[in-house]
Amino acid sequence: MDKEFTTAPASAPPPSSRYNFEVPEHLTISDMLTIQLADCVRITQRLADQASDPHLHDSERTHTIHSLESVVNASETLTRTLGCLQNDSWEAEPPRTRAKR
């Protein structure tokens, strides 16, 4: 029973081709944030369409709406950051809190 067991190193899954690209040198942080904001808009549109799908079960619809809320909140943060960059001001106003029902 003196066998040596070797384990192969755990390899991470390859990065998604979506994010596996070289960033062009001419892009600024503001440009990259704008690209992310455009992606958030695309995701928001898809989630909004999915949330109104009549074939969706209530639990699926609830999950979709929570995802939609997360993307909208991320969009707000991106927009606020872009505004600060364009105005050369890093003092962002605090995020708004939702009204309790």
Give the whole-angstrom CA distance, residue 85 versus residue 62.
35
Q: Model-level pTM?
A: 0.58
Q: If DSSP codes are grouped into helix, strand and coil, which group holds residue 49?
A: helix
Backbone angles phi, psi at 65, to 5 degrees: -65, -40
Tell me the per-residue pLDDT of 4-20, one tens digit each, with 9 for 90 and over: 545 455 565 666 676 67
Tell me the per-residue pLDDT of 43-97, one tens digit each, with 9 for 90 and over: 999 999 988 888 888 888 899 989 999 999 999 998 888 888 878 665 545 555 6
Task: Judge contact between 31 and 82, C-beta under 8 A.
Answer: no
